[in-house]
Structure 1
Amino acid sequence: MSKLSHYDDAGQAHMVDVSAKSQTRREAIAEAFVELSAQTLEALPQNPKGNPLEVARFAGIQAAKQTSTLIPMCHPLPLSYVDIATEIEPEGIRVRATAATVAGTGVEMEAMTAASIAALTIYDMTKALDKGIRIRHVQLIAKSGGKSGEWHRE
């Protein structure tokens, strides 16, 4: 196993120098799952606060653009694309965030942040109807580009 890249030889946290890395197209896809009760799922279209899924989409896009201000060693990136898709399933809502850039480092953190904040926004918009909401399985699904190339969760 290689060492953690965000620490120097003295064990101090630092931002990784990516200036020598190639500027290539990089993309990452992350997911989160918001577990909701059947009653809350049924009430989504009539939610008095508005459409939680549309608000969550905007929040996820905004969050991706703010990742470097939230994660201390994360590089600010010129994002080329961010999208949030939601799918209603029998037990809740699957949130899928996609982020892309042409840069010297990947966009996994942007996709993970977008999925997390979109899921939290769904929680915020529906908590009046359900106190037992759970957010689970925040995870990277796939990434491409850069030195490490393609990766897909099995």
Structure 2
Amino acid sequence: MSNSFTHINADGNAHMVDVTEKSVTEREARAEAFIEMAPDTLQMIISGSHHKGDVFATARIAGIMAAKNTSALIPLCHPLMLTKVEVELEAQPEHNRVRITSLCKLSGKTGVEMEALTAASVAALTIYDMCKAVQKDMHITGVRLLEKRGGKSGHFKV
């Protein structure tokens, strides 16, 4: 693991990394997040009886939109031309939670880890937003990178 921070220049100032000379490679990242809630809240989502509509569909769209807009949210991230974004939501009643997974892909000069993490995070936040009138003490947990492929640093998998 390198000790140099690529977003800090020789003067100690933050800057956007120059990727001009980097090779275009296929890149992919997967991330996950969980949102824990009461059994009744989860059942409301699963049954589709939420008065605001389809919670999973809304969270999926929010996650996809978030991935596409990561560079507007996270300072120093490059705007990327994503070629694929997937957001999957899985109710896990045995754990009173929803597992959110995201996948982002492109052919480019920089990785898509932040886009995958942003997609999973915003999908979880959207579930919270839609359900907060029913339950305010939900917990978003376990936001993490599961896997990344491509680029100079190669393959990483949890």
Normalising by the smaller structure, the TM-score range is over 0.9
Segments of 5+ residues of structure 2 without an aligned counterpart are: none
1:46 aligned residue (45, 49, 53): 49
* Equivalent AA in structure 1 for residue 28 of structure 2: E
Report % sequence identity.
49
Deviation at 1:72, TM superposition (A): 1.2
* Counterpart-to-counterpart distance in 2, 1:137 and 1:41: 18
* Deviation readout 1:76-117 (Å, 9 max, x if unpaired): 010000000011112210000110011000000000111110
* Counterpart-to-counterpart distance in 1, 2:51 and 2:73: 30
Segments of 5+ residues of structure 1 without an aligned counterpart are: none
How many pairs are equivalent?
153
* Counterpart-to-counterpart distance in 2, 1:145 and 1:83: 18
Runs of 4+ in structure 1 over 2 Å off? none
* Counterpart-to-counterpart distance in 2, 1:14 and 1:28: 23
* Equivalent AA in structure 2 for residue 129 of structure 1: V
2:64 aligned residue (52, 61, 64): 61
How does the TM-score come out when normalised to structure 1? 0.97
Structure-2 residue corresponding to 1:37: 38
* Equivalent AA in structure 2 for residue 60 of structure 1: G
Structure-1 residue corresponding to 2:75: 72
Structure-1 residue corresponding to 2:126: 121
Structure-2 residue corresponding to 1:93: 98
1:82 paired with 2:58, answer: no
SS in 2 for 1:79: coil
